[in-house]
A and B are shown apart, each in its own frame.
Chain A
């Protein structure tokens, strides 16, 4: 199949698959229950606080991912957080923790590190997550009383995550020994198996590389605890919305039980898209255990799930959409591109065949505001004998306008916002637009902004003042006037 067509089909398929999953996810929602749960008066401020806490948790997750891969790649916190959120979003619309694979794939794509190494990083994160939840749950049980029937869950979870962590730490602290052990063990079986095993082990060892020092292990542990405290924040802020008292230990307990309940696919008997069912069940069960009325617990579980769901679907959806657009643009570029056949064939043997007559991109007219600003910026009055001062100002203004148009879009927007703010302040102060003010007033204003004490104002006007002075003093008429003046002196 043609490469372009296959790319376009891939994009369309991706969007269709996303739509199908969103429909599946929404299909499982009991909207009547949601509306009932959201009906109590005064719920919304708490609802938004809980969302904010959950979002902060995800940003810290992004930070943790960044730390874990810092030896091999550099990611902005925004990108790292987006990767985490996409993983969670996919987990919420696909069963069997497929999100972890999506997260690893995206991490690999964004950083260039091999997929297996990314998968190791995700695995490490999940192990630390599991242990953080167990620690927080155990602490909550300790404070709430030992009568709560979760000891069994805690012991199993601790054993599973603890063993996994021990293994990871052994690899992280002594990677060479681990590699040597794998090498020895597999070489005896078959050389081919040995090569494959060593290759896979290398990825695993690299993935665990950040955990080679006690300080780094401590950092990841603390960050993981903070992440799950933020997640517990989601539960804390929702408790008063349903007439339950704010209690950190109760929130930690509910958070711990609900999350451990959905943590293991197939193990605790539940893994469904969006965890609809298992999450609610565990949430209700834990709240009832703490003495909450069943009706309030039911509504609580629905709203807590909704808060998580909204964030992940909206955020994750936007990130995926962005990806889709980027892929679409690529596909479009590929589709539009012509073969360069014939381009070189018709050219002389040794010549640059194009490029002597490309147009000047800054030939568009200069905005009147820029002209008025330029008038205020240049010290025209100080230089007598310039025959056509207006031509000089026009030359400088055109140059400034061209420079602004050549800024990247981001800087153009920032500059436009800054100038809008400037105009607004001037309008409020003088009841007139800057351009309508007399030249002397405009000069005073310009000087106070461009050379004043406020750094933001200076930065905003730096482009104008620098380019204005550059073009002004490089104009032949000004240079001549300056030379004459010097000679007179």
Chain B
């Protein structure tokens, strides 16, 4: 947790915290509105690659599985998971509790495989069931995605909106997993977001209620936590590159511990109004083992100062 890949000083308030955060060795990466500054710093730090080269920016190995190639990573983590017996809680379910963070090849910028462009670093692509690692958009949906791509100020995350599923796990801030009886809680550092996942098997709430967080319903399948999301309001993006969704989206996330400090994360996305078939994201979650660590507050809306300038810039 000692690498700092970028920082954003979007308010005096946050600036103070950022300084503190860096001193206390958090990983911090800019989001949304600050994509340009952060991306430039990131690409500079990691070494610029020639345009058109979509190789991963950096080697990432989590729990003995290399994320350079997402399919090879998925096979490696799945094989290890079969042989790994996770610790159990008092309730007898796998104990996922602790601090975790996402490890991936710049999926926060683009979940698809993509070469570096101005302000956006190359991304390795995390879609495991499409040969080109691209989202299977219907043609009109692809056109909309391309239109959104140039409008970073429209990214809901830049407006401090809760990032929903699965994006909350794509951002590179960490989160804490807690397992009170019959539930799994995720407390995210970024935007003090949370998820309450009941594992009691209650049904989904009425589709009349739409939420940025959606309605997560969990269950244990062997050693895997399976979380089914409905009621998402469909206004989220998957990343900073305009990959979007609709209110018809259905997300199923799977969390499988494959090593004491590593979880295989998978998210199956289904929405036949804009995709020709379901598709699946996969990457790793890595445990933060730093002694005495706890999450500081990341208050987004209270300090947001960039949006008005970005929007004004677009109008000019």
Are A and B co-members of a single complex?
A: no
Interface residues of B (CB under 8 A from A): none
